[in-house]
Amino acid sequence: MVVLQFGYMTLFAPAFPFGFFIGYLNNLVELRSDGFKICMLNRRPLYRCAEDIGTWNYILDVMSTLSVITNATLLAITSKSLDVFTEDLDSDMQWTVKLLLAFGVEVNATQFKF
């Protein structure tokens, strides 16, 4: 559920920026309700050792890369700030230049691994 929420928050951040606040409130409520269920309703869970998060690391990495691509494309298409670079071009060429600028931002952003 948390990975699904991460995907929605990162992939569609420019479309609905208020979603981060809603996601934060959801996580607070879920943390409290899960804490209550574990502490009051169930026995202590058995410890299981794990080396790392496994396949979820790859899934989160792919989702992060896709979010950079999606956000850069959404901003390039909907933003009026790129019109400065394309004001003398016809309509089809404007879209091409905007998408190429978005692609350049994507390439630069995906080179940095945090």
The 10s digit of each residue's pLDDT in 8-24 is 888 888 788 888 898 88
Sign of the torsion angle spanned by Cα atoms 99, 101, 106, 111: positive
Which residues span the domain enclosing 32?
2-110
Cα 88 to the chain's mean position, in Å? 34
Task: Name the pTM for this structure.
Answer: 0.66
User: Which residue, among 70, 65, 100, 66, has the nearest Cα to 82 in the 3D structure?
Assistant: 100
DSSP letter string, 48-99:
---SS-THHHHHHHHHHHHHHHHHHHHHHHH-STTHHHHTTS-HHHHHHHHH
* Banded model confidence at residue 32, pLDDT cuts 50, 70, 90: very high
* Total domains in the fold of the chain: 1
